Structure 1
Amino acid sequence: MIKRLHIRNYAIIEELTLEFATGLSIITGETGAGKSIVLGALNLILGGRADTKTLFDDSRKCIIEGRFDIAAYDLRSFFTDNDLDYDAELIIRREITPSGKSRAFVNDTPVNLKVLQELGSTLIDLHQQFDTLYINNSDFQLELLDALAGQRDAVREYRTEYQRLQQTRRKLAQLREEQAQARREQEFLEFQVNELEEANLRENEQESLEAERHRLSNADEIKQLTSGVFHYLTEADESVTDRLLAISVKLTPLSAGDPQLQSIAERFESIRLELEEVASDLEAFGSDTDVRPDRLEEIEERLNLLYRLQTKHSVKTNTELLEIYRELSARLDHFSDLGGSITKLEKEQDQLRARLVDQGKQLRKARERVAPDFAANVQQQLGELSMTNARLKVDFTPLPEPGPHGLDEVRFLFSANKGGKLQAIKDAASGGEMSRLALVTKSLVASAMQLPTLIFDEIDSGVSGDVAQRMGRILTDLSRHHQVVVITHSPQVASRAHRHYFVYKTDKTDAERTITRVRELDGDERVRAIATMLSQNPPSESALKNARELIEAV
């Protein structure tokens, strides 16, 4: 519900604040005093179009701010989806600069008009003549019937199943596209996998082959070098190892009494033994190295294959080739599994659709059950509001497939005149007729469903006396469940107010200019205002008496 509306520098409003409460708030005032301007300002924070021509002072920006209590609305997901901070008290602000720039804020976060319009539509239902109203919206018409049928949980369950069906259909379409793509790619993938499979790739194979190739390519030099070194170290006259052994023999006994020399002698002996081991290893390495042209050729062929595959797949190592082989094999396996996955999803889709059809039939049955009484009650109440020839029919059109709301498209068909053709409401009702129809339909579901704040602008246009009184009673009943704001010229409607606001014009003290002001009426002021609406200004005594009687009769 709206709690507060603050307007600054808009049209003929310099600055004013309206505080709203629950129940029925009535706004009255002289023609041209600015009642419609207040609605125009409210429309701006609902995402309406901005215009610099509406600035009161074209050197300053216009600011419209509304405060709302949204605790009763289920809006957390909307705030999350639009990256907005949620709070039970919502502040919407709209600014229009003298240059024409318009900015909108939700809880101090900038938003675009689309977000503002979507949010505003859940908070305020503004009924002005010739506007397109909620009552024209097929989704709202369905929601209304479901509320009367008491099947909110069933509708929620249906929509959950419908979303699952849509997700399954999207997944199925994706898999079918993948399958079509797979058929185009599978042959090429199989060729690549088979080629890598035939290569019989092994971890660390490349490094081992490159080392072996190096040894075989240099086999003659290796054998010659290792043999020469071994001979020089161990077999030649006065070989290196013999000389080192002679030194060690002499050094060891001398070091027995000297710790420092003993350490050196131990190090020397270690080196001597290591050198003998190196000589032995060199001799063994040379002995194992053979000149094998056939093996070298085999290694070259194998490495050329690996290098070619690496170049083909834009990698540099055998390990990377193996990873590509695993990835391609996995893709090929996935393509092979697609048929089974598609069959499984098709079965799931059929099951979901069958459940939806069953649930949809139950929804349809409940809607068809309440539709005749609803239409009859609408016609009865419209008759009491001086629309005796009005007719309403709830039309059900079966859908070829389960839709997001059921198995049917539902439309309210309406005729305001005797013998008139039943048509969509927007094509069959005038602004005033549409407003009365909206009032009646919403009053019938007031206790069954959550509605935004309802604002009616001159809904009582063209009615008076008993009809206006009946309209006032309907508005009062509606306001027991929802916040209702009505702009009226009818004293019968105004007398029903829980809060009564009076819009008037006054001259600005420091300039020759008229401005709009608003004040809340109470007690004698309210009696006088209603009496003036009944007669003239100043009102007669009989009008004052009649006004008191109207207020006391509520």
Structure 2
Amino acid sequence: MLTHLTLINFALADRLAIDIESGFNVLTGETGAGKSLLLDALSACLGERTDTNYVRYGADKADVTATFSYHDGSPEAEWLKQQELDDESGEIHLRRVIFATGRSKAWINGRPSSLSELKEIGRLLVQLYSQHSQQQLLEPPYPKHWLDRYSNFYAPAQAVRDAYSQWQKDIRQHQAALDAQATRKQRIDTLELQLEELEEVVQVDYADIEQEFDRLSHHEAIMQDCAYSLNGLDEAEPNLSQELSSILRRLESHAGRSEQLSEIYTSLLNAQSEIEDATASLRHFIDRQSFDPERMEELNSKLEIFHRLARKYRTQPESLKAEYDSWQAELEQLHQLEDPETLAEQVEVSYQDFLAKAEHLDQIRREAAGPLAKQLTEQVKQLALPEAHFEFKFEPLEQPSSEGLSFIQLLFTANKGIPAQPLARVASGGELSRIALVMQVMNAEKTEAEVLVFDEIDVGISGGTAEIVGRLLAGLGQHVQILCITHQAQVAAQSDQHLLVKKQQTDPASSTILMLQEEERILELARMTGGVEINETTLQHAKQLRQLKFQSGA
């Protein structure tokens, strides 16, 4: 639930802190007062696109923070745990800073975050519906998407898309096998020759033989330097071991007199042990070394082969093993393509899998479509469309698609005795706005988000219809938190909390948001219904609207 919004130098807001209550919240205000201020700030915190217009005139940056509460086990709680962003306070703090230069920065619970992360958590927290949503109704995919969303068919619909994708992939592989028929044999012969030539060579590690060859090439210098080192360490008179023993004897007698000297003595004692071990290892290394000219010649021959083959295949000697593995994989793939009939069988298997999933999805969609159309009809009838009727029409597609087997249309009629037709063809603008509103409210009942934002979705309605819309939103507000910008007094009267946006004539101009008490609500409702002049008639009407709220029990 959204609990708090803080706006600093954001658009018309100088410094504004707003506490948001649960239930049904409305925002009203005169035209130009900045009613969209709160929603724009919330959208910024949810990772939506911003621009420099959001930075208050004269300021170098805008700063907005949205605070949400959440419950353990909720989708947003799980997301926060996965991102290691969970907070013991049980709150989510989303912050966005927008600079006048056009850049912006974001934080989630105090940690710098990307806009994509803001959008991820935002989709779990808030669902936004705008007055332009009615245009979605006219888009061909919308009825299908709305049916799937309301009926929770996401999983079977995704299974169909995945199965379709696999079927198409198998078709492409089969076609590739057919296309490769002519050139495959030649390529196989080439690869087999190349692999045969490298088969013995790649059994040896190039880096190992190169290092061994280098060691034999410098055998004499290595032995001279090792002998010199061993002599200095242990065989000369005096040698390093003797000198270090003498130093240790001198310091040992004073180690107890100084903590620092004691530490130095201990360090040198450890160094003596290390030197003794290194000396023994060096003597062992010298004893084991011998020069083998035949082995050197053998290594030289192997290196020459590596370099010859590397030049032939235009690569580095150490990369020949990787080339061999790549050719081996390509050869195996070509052998798999050798039998297009096998791939054709796989195409049929994946098609049958897709068909089974698509038929199941089509069946459950058809079963859900009837009751859903009936429910939509009953809801829309309340909005001054008493003869409204909806039905879904399923038309088989000429070719199956990733979306299923049928093209789904939503048919509508507003007049008794007239057959239902596609919504885009027969619905007027006013009818579309009411239908869109009801469909959005029905969708909102199914959303996992705990905050629903309605931005002037009641445009085009008035009177008794607006009152019913208010009741719908009030009923929905008993289950989720609602923020609604509205021009309709009948809608605002049904709300649990009423926020008023007022423009202040400061320099530069600014807006503030006030939480109205009951008497203030009556005055605002009177202004919304009666205009600038508020008289006893408009006040009485406003009081009656509020009484309807209490009488309905919403």
Aligned to 2:14: 14
SS of residue paired to 1:477: helix
Do structure 1's residue 479 and structure 2's residue 470 form an aligned pair? no
Aligned to 1:520: 515
* Greater Cα shift, 437-446 or 138-147: 138-147
1:545–1:437: structure 2 CA closer, same or farther, 3 Å change rule? closer
How far did residue 343 of structure 1 move? 6.1
Q: For each residue in 1:52-95, what CA deviation from the matched residue of structure 2 results, as whole angstroms up to 9, or x when unmatched?
A: 344333233112332345768746998899x8957785443332
Q: Does the CA contact (< 8 Å) of 1:189 and 1:328 recur in 2? A: no
Amino acid in the other structure paired with 2:97? E
Aligned to 2:2: 2
SS of residue paired to 1:35: coil
Aligned to 1:62: 62
Aligned to 2:463: 465
1:471–1:359: structure 2 CA closer, same or farther, 3 Å change rule? same
Matches within 5 A, 1:118-137: 120=122, 123-130=125-132
Q: Does the CA contact (< 8 Å) of 1:90 and 1:106 recur in 2? A: yes
Amino acid in the other structure paired with 2:309? K
Q: For each residue in 1:135-194, what CA deviation from the matched residue of structure 2 results, as whole angstroms up to 9, or x when unmatched?
A: 567666435424555x64xx5255346436635754775697599485452121233345
Q: For each residue in 1:359-379, what CA deviation from the matched residue of structure 2 results, as whole angstroms up to 9, or x when unmatched?
A: 322322222233244334434
1:62–1:183: structure 2 CA closer, same or farther, 3 Å change rule? farther
Aligned to 2:32: 32
SS of residue paired to 1:67: strand
SS of residue paired to 2:66: strand
Aligned to 2:217: none
1:103–1:342: structure 2 CA closer, same or farther, 3 Å change rule? farther
SS of residue paired to 1:398: strand
Q: Does the CA contact (< 8 Å) of 2:147 and 2:365 recur in 1? A: yes
Q: Does the CA contact (< 8 Å) of 1:145 and 1:367 recur in 2? A: yes
Do structure 1's residue 44 and structure 2's residue 44 form an aligned pair? yes
Rg larger in 1 or in 2? 1
1:305–1:105: structure 2 CA closer, same or farther, 3 Å change rule? closer
Matches within 5 A, 1:10-409: 10-69=10-69, 74=75, 85=85, 89-107=91-109, 108-112=111-115, 120=122, 123-130=125-132, 141-146=143-148, 149=151, 152=153, 155-157=154-156, 159-160=158-159, 162-163=161-162, 166-167=165-166, 170=169, 173=172, 180=180, 183-193=185-195, 311-314=308-311, 327=325, 330-331=328-329, 334-335=332-333, 337-339=335-337, 347-387=345-385, 392-399=390-397, 403-409=401-407
- For the residues of structure 2 that align with 1:443 and 1:131, how far apart are their CA atoms? 12
1:551–1:322: structure 2 CA closer, same or farther, 3 Å change rule? closer
1:539–1:12: structure 2 CA closer, same or farther, 3 Å change rule? farther
Unaligned runs of 5+ in 1: 208-299
What root-mean-square deviation, in Å, do the aligned CA atoms of Structure 1 and Structure 2 show? 4.9
* Greater Cα shift, 412-421 or 455-464: 412-421
1:483–1:174: structure 2 CA closer, same or farther, 3 Å change rule? farther
Q: Does the CA contact (< 8 Å) of 1:455 and 1:484 recur in 2? A: yes
Aligned to 2:284: none
- For the residues of structure 2 that align with 1:92 and 1:514, how far apart are their CA atoms? 27
Q: TM-score, normalised by structure 2?
A: 0.63
- For the residues of structure 1 that align with 2:453 and 2:487, how far apart are their CA atoms? 15
- For the residues of structure 1 that align with 2:517 and 2:156, how far apart are their CA atoms? 49
- For the residues of structure 2 that align with 1:416 and 1:39, how far apart are their CA atoms? 34
1:115–1:429: structure 2 CA closer, same or farther, 3 Å change rule? farther
Q: Does the CA contact (< 8 Å) of 2:9 and 2:59 recur in 1? A: no
SS of residue paired to 1:130: helix
- For the residues of structure 1 that align with 2:44 and 2:494, how far apart are their CA atoms? 28
How far did residue 27 of structure 1 move? 1.6
Amino acid in the other structure paired with 1:127? Y
Unaligned runs of 5+ in 2: 210-296
Q: For each residue in 1:173-221, what CA deviation from the matched residue of structure 2 results, as whole angstroms up to 9, or x when unmatched?
A: 5697599485452121233345678x999999xx9xxxxxxxxxxxxxx
Aligned to 2:248: none
Q: Does the CA contact (< 8 Å) of 1:52 and 1:58 recur in 2? A: no
Q: Does the CA contact (< 8 Å) of 2:412 and 2:427 recur in 1? A: yes
- For the residues of structure 1 that align with 2:509 and 2:105, how far apart are their CA atoms? 28
- For the residues of structure 2 that align with 1:55 and 1:427, how far apart are their CA atoms? 44
Q: TM-score, normalised by structure 1?
A: 0.63
- For the residues of structure 2 that align with 1:53 and 1:322, how far apart are their CA atoms? 59
Q: Does the CA contact (< 8 Å) of 1:415 and 1:429 recur in 2? A: no
Q: Does the CA contact (< 8 Å) of 1:26 and 1:500 recur in 2? A: yes
Q: For each residue in 1:437-488, what CA deviation from the matched residue of structure 2 results, as whole angstroms up to 9, or x when unmatched?
A: 2321133455445357332233334533322221112112333343322222
- For the residues of structure 2 that align with 1:420 and 1:94, how far apart are their CA atoms? 52
1:137–1:455: structure 2 CA closer, same or farther, 3 Å change rule? farther
How far did residue 119 of structure 1 move? 6.0
1:186–1:522: structure 2 CA closer, same or farther, 3 Å change rule? same
1:385–1:547: structure 2 CA closer, same or farther, 3 Å change rule? closer
SS of residue paired to 2:131: coil
Amino acid in the other structure paired with 2:308? T
Aligned to 1:537: 534
Amino acid in the other structure paired with 1:109? P
How far did residue 515 of structure 1 move? 2.3
